[in-house]
Amino acid sequence: MPVTRLISRMRAAMRPRRPRPVILMYHRVAVARHDPWGLAVDPERFEEQIAYVKQHRTPMSMDELVDRLRSKTLPANAIAVTFDDGYRDNLVNAKPVLARHGVPATLFLATGFINQNTPFWWDELATMILASTQAIRDQQIWPGEAVTLDWGEAERSDIAGGWRVSDEPRTARQNAYLAIWRKLQHATAEDRDVAMNTLRRHLGTAQDPLGKPMSSDEIRALLSDGLVELGAHTVTHPALTLLSRLESRREIEGSGHRCRELATKCVNGFAYPYGDMSLEVRSDVASLGFSWACSTKGGFVDGKQPDIYALPRVAVPNAPIGTLVGLATA
Ligand SMILES: [Zn+2]
């Protein structure tokens, strides 16, 4: 390569890049030892991240972001903060930080879990299996099918925690977690409850007060000062494309209805569980009264030709936010 071209490339690489609008996706603000999906951000880290957002970006609610996208007035450094599912730690750990920095947020609520006294099933399953210290040689009967729980003493990487599903599973517990998670994800809510009760009988219950879904009173407290707005996220958190059209529409409509009962503002947004959607699902979301929807597809918002019913979001890791590609450009 000629030296002049090399120098101009180096200059281009060093030049600050233009910021682009982005929607951040959070789930939990808590310390979680077993977090195979990487859903949790430590509270201190979250405070750093929100302070960064406030200092370097223009934070706004999702409704404002979408309005300004439509009117072509969205600033390039716009940012919106979203949470999925409805964890209690959103009220206890996240809300005070958002209030301190005056950063608005949207919570996509899976409404069938409200007031539930156990953690979300995917987290409870992770704690039950990955943190299990007992050696199990047993076979459980799944509804209609045998599932083997077969492992010995806890292995070092199980005890340490920190395994992610993006890493190859290496221990019997990690393999069992993934296999059972897949079955539960595809099960009906009723079959899942039966299976979870069977697992609890053998493995004990996993307590995590901050990892439980919020009660309706806690949701009202979260929304009380208007900084957090609600979006819908289905009732039972299914992968919508696995359902019949009728069931899928019931999930979308039911969660919208419950959110509108709880909300103090209009509920205009929806987020697809697992980011799972099809053209039919998108058109049902639109016809059931939602004016925009978020996916889990990573990336920046296209300010010129946005896909309003599949807005991309960046999953925030438990790491300095400046390390997220493209965010440290403002
Ligand atoms: Zn979710």
Of 67, 17, 21, 56, give the one whose Cα is nearest residue 299: 21
Residue 147 pLDDT > 70: no
Cα 155 from Cα 78, distance rounded (Å): 45
C-alpha 54 – ligand 1 centre gap (Å): 25
pLDDT of 329 strictly over 60: no
Q: Give one word for 6, left, alpha or beta, with left for phi > 0 and alpha for psi -120 to 50.
A: alpha
Cα(152) to centroid(ligand 1), Å: 32
The pLDDT value given to residue 157? 76
- Identity of the amino acid at 263: A
Q: Which of 115-124, 287-296, 315-324 has the lowest mean pLDDT?
A: 315-324
- Report pLDDT digits (tens) over 34-61: 899 999 999 999 999 999 999 999 999 9
* Per-residue pLDDT tens digits for 271-315: 999 999 999 999 999 999 999 999 999 999 998 888 999 999 999
Encoded tokens for 243: 């359902």
**58 CA from centroid of ligand 1 (Å):** 26
Please give the distance, rounded to the nearest whole angstrom, from the Cα atom of residue 65 to the centre of ligand 1.
Answer: 21
Owner of token pair 């009962």: 261
Round to whole Å and give the CA distance between 63 and 89. 23
DSSP-assigned letters across all residues of 265-291: S---EEE-GGG---HHHHHHHHHTT-S
Task: Grade residue 155 by pLDDT with cuts at 50, 70 and 90.
Answer: confident
Question: 61-92 pLDDT, tens per residue?
Answer: 999 999 999 999 999 999 999 999 999 999 99
Name 272's Cβ contacts closer than 8 Å, sequence gap at least 6: 240, 281, 285, 293, 294, 295, 296
In three-state secondary structure terms, 221 is helix
Mean pLDDT to the nearest integer, 208-213: 92
Give the Å distance between the CA of 236 and the centre of ligand 1: 10
Which of 47-56, 131-140, 314-323 has the highest average model confidence (pLDDT)?
Answer: 47-56
Residues 150-172: what's their mean pLDDT?
83
Cβ contact 108:85 at 8 Å? yes
Contact 22, 79 (CB under 8 A): yes
Write the DSSP assignment of 56-115 as a string of letters: HSEE--HHHHHHHHHTT---TTEEEEEEEE-BHHIIIIIHHHHHHHT--EEEEE-GGGTT
- Calculate how far, in angstroms, residue 143's C-alpha sits from the geometric centre of ligand 1: 25
pLDDT value at position 262? 97
Please answer whether residues 65 and 81 qualify as being in contact, where contact means their C-beta atoms are separated by less than 8 angstroms.
Answer: no
Question: If you measure from the C-alpha of residue 276 to the centroid of ligand 1, how many angstroms do you get, rounded to a whole number?
Answer: 10
**How much distance in Å is there from the Cα of 57 to the middle of ligand 1?**
26
Find the 286 Cα to ligand 1 centroid distance in Å: 19
CA of 212 to the centre of ligand 1 (A): 14
Tokens of 321: 């936010």
- What percent of the chain stands above pLDDT 70? 90
Mean pLDDT across the stretch 91-113? 98
Confidence of residue 325 (pLDDT cuts 50, 70, 90): low
**Contact partners, residue 162, CB within 8 Å, separation at least 6:** 33
Answer yes or no: is pLDDT of 13 > 80.
Answer: no
Distance 84 CA to ligand 1 centre (A): 5
DSSP assignment of 144-207: TEEEEEEE-SPPHHHHH----TTSPP-SHHHHHHHHHHHHHHHS-HHHHHHHHHHHHHHH----
Averaged pLDDT of the chain: 89
Length of the chain: 330
